[in-house]
Chains A and B, each alone.
Chain A
Amino acid sequence: MVKLSTVVVEVGGFRLNHISFEVRDGEYVVILGPTGAGKTLLLESIAGLYPLKDGQIFLNGKEITYLRPENRNLGIVYQDYALFSAL
């Protein structure tokens, strides 16, 4: 279970403004938006790669807002390539 509550992230001049949603166990969720809408940034923020300005993130009921990415046990795969661009 992943839950976001009023998450705010700022990078450069871009801002994710108060994002809240919940994904329950076994659910698949598709996030749609034009290029530059902030889809990747949202996933990166859930993975802990950017600090939140506001809000909280929960994983399986535990708050992980301040956990470092390496301690979240949460993976992301980018659209263009996984790990090895040559493969």
Chain B
Amino acid sequence: MTDEGLFLFRRAPIVQVGLYLQLFLLLLIGLPILRMVLATDLEVLRSSIEDAKVISSILLTLRAALWATLVCAFMGIPMAYLLARHNFFGKGLVEGLINLPVMIPHNAAGIALLMVYGPRFFIGKLFRDLGISFVGTEWGISLAMAYVSLPFLVNAARDGFLSLDPRLEKVARTLGASAWSAFFRITLPLAWRYILTGKIMMWARGISEFGAVIILTYHPIIAPILIYERLENYGLKYAYPVAVLLILLCLIIFGLLRLLASSERRRDLS
């Protein structure tokens, strides 16, 4: 086993091809980020850390995406459970609709959202009367983020529920657990890692959203839009420290969260 690991050329040709392609893909993804981090002028980076506008836009981005994720988890996890455990008329349509946001251009999604939650449509008016506006507000940012990133959470949670034998729940029922109790004490704890991964994915996808957000809300400004604005107004030199800062923060946060998710897994297996 171990010297197979050392001598890659001894492996089957298909494995070798896979390894070289994997290396290529790693470079494709990693190189631009590495280059950007290395090319950053430390002075400019420090001035962007001290720039209150940069920090507040990054915090706003993290916060708005987190809200979107938490609120959608509340609605999306029960829905994922339904999709995993039950067959009903129109299920295929529901599954297709859930995944639609991944496929449409996100600025088009933003326009569609504007047409429903903007002040010209009765739903938007209804929310306005409740004191909630989705145009030019943090609400609008979260809404746009939620719309385009919800599929990641629902799909991951559904896969989690599908990975469990429904008999565990059934046995729990015969041992005296109500349907709710079986869900919260058996199913949810066992699917937890999938759900956490789904939340991480959704949060990350929300943080990186640009197209849908910019249609609904330019100000308050989120970090991806700030990067774009700096690029347009001052050039690359002032855009990339913001980008580097955002990327570094995301790498740290998601590194820690992944560590959490995988430590759960190790405990599961032991």
Q: A residues touching B (Cβ–Cβ < 8 Å)?
A: 12, 44, 47-49, 68-70, 72-76, 78, 82-83, 85
Contact = CB atoms under 8 A, between A and B. Distances in A.
B87 A48 contact: no
A68 B216 CA distance: 48
Contacts of A85: 165
Interface in B160-211: 165, 167-168, 170-171, 173-178, 181
A44 B173 CA distance: 11
Contacts of A75: 174-175
A76 B170 CA distance: 9
B112 to A, nearest CB: 36
Contact of B173 (A12, A49, A83): A49
8 contacts: A44-B170, A47-B170, A48-B173, A49-B170, A49-B174, A70-B181, A72-B174, A76-B170
A77 to B, nearest CB: 8
Interface string B59-99: 00000000000000000000000000001000000000000
A74 B167 CA distance: 15
Which of B170, B175, B178 has the most A CB atoms < 10 Å from its CB?
A: B170
A49 B172 CA distance: 11
Contacts of A68: 173, 178
Nearest to A47: B174
A12 B87 contact: yes
Contacts of B170: 44, 47, 49, 69, 76
A75 B171 CA distance: 8
A12 B60 CA distance: 48
B92 to A, nearest CB: 15
A68 to B, nearest CB: 7
Nearest to A84: B168
A70 B177 contact: yes
A81 B158 CA distance: 24
A28 to B, nearest CB: 20
A59 to B, nearest CB: 13
Contacts of B171: 76, 78, 82-83
